[in-house]
Amino acid sequence: MVRTEISLFLKNVPGELGRLATLFAKENINIDALTIQDASSYVQNLFSARGKSLKRIASVASYNSMRKDSAEFALIRLLADKTDKAIDLLSKNDYIFDIMPVMTLELENRPGALAAIATKFGEEGININYVYGTVTSPDEKCLFVFCPEDIELAAQIFKEK
C-alpha cells in the first residue's frame, strides 16, 4: 500500500523525540512506523550523490559547514495513522518537514520473506532507496516500509500483496 511518509530534522539532544511523540499523542495521532538516523550520515549521502553527478550546488565551505552542523540533528522518518492531521500539527508547531510516498508491505515473519520481496524489486528493475521494518512477535506479520525510486511501478507490482 502506498502511504505518505513524513521526514523531519530534530535537534539531536535528549527529550526532542519525547516532545514530538507527546505532541502527536495529545492530538490522538499514532505513529505506525519510525526510523531515526544521525543526520550527518544523511548529509554524507548527499555529498556522495553530488560527487557522482559532479554538480556542486554550494561552495566547499558550505558543504563542510553543513557536514559539521548536521551532526547536531537527527533525521526522523515516520508514518502516522492520521497523516493530514500530523502534517497540519507539524506546520502549526513550526517543524520543518517533507513528505513523500512510500510503500508499506506486510511480510510473513519467516526467513526468506524479505529476500523474496527485495528480489522482486530487483527483477522489476526498481531500486530501493531505503527500507525499514519491524516485527512485534514471532506469530505476527512484519511491517516494512520501502522507498522505491519508481513508486508507481512498485505500487502496480505489489498491489496484490
Amino acid at 119: T
Written as nine digits, the cell of 9 is 530534522
Buried b (16+ CB within 10 A) or exposed e, 120-148: ebeeeebeeeebbbeeeeeeeebbbbbbb
pLDDT of residue 161: 46
Of 126, 119, 86, 68, nearest in space to 60 by CA? 68
Higher pLDDT residue, 32 or 56? Answer: 32
Between CA 91 and CA 89 the distance in angstroms is: 5
Q: Do the strands 97-107 and 31-38 form a parallel or antiparallel pair, or are they unpaired? A: unpaired
pLDDT of residue 91: 93
Q: Which of 36-45, 58-67, 140-149 has the lowest mean pLDDT?
A: 58-67
CB 128 within 8 A of CB 121: yes
pLDDT tens digit string along 71-102? 678 889 999 999 999 999 999 998 888 999 99
pLDDT of residue 81: 96
Between CA 32 and CA 9 the distance in angstroms is: 18
Higher pLDDT residue, 59 or 126? Answer: 126
Q: Which of 11-15, 23-27, 102-106 has the lowest mean pLDDT?
A: 11-15
- The position carrying cell 550523490 is 49
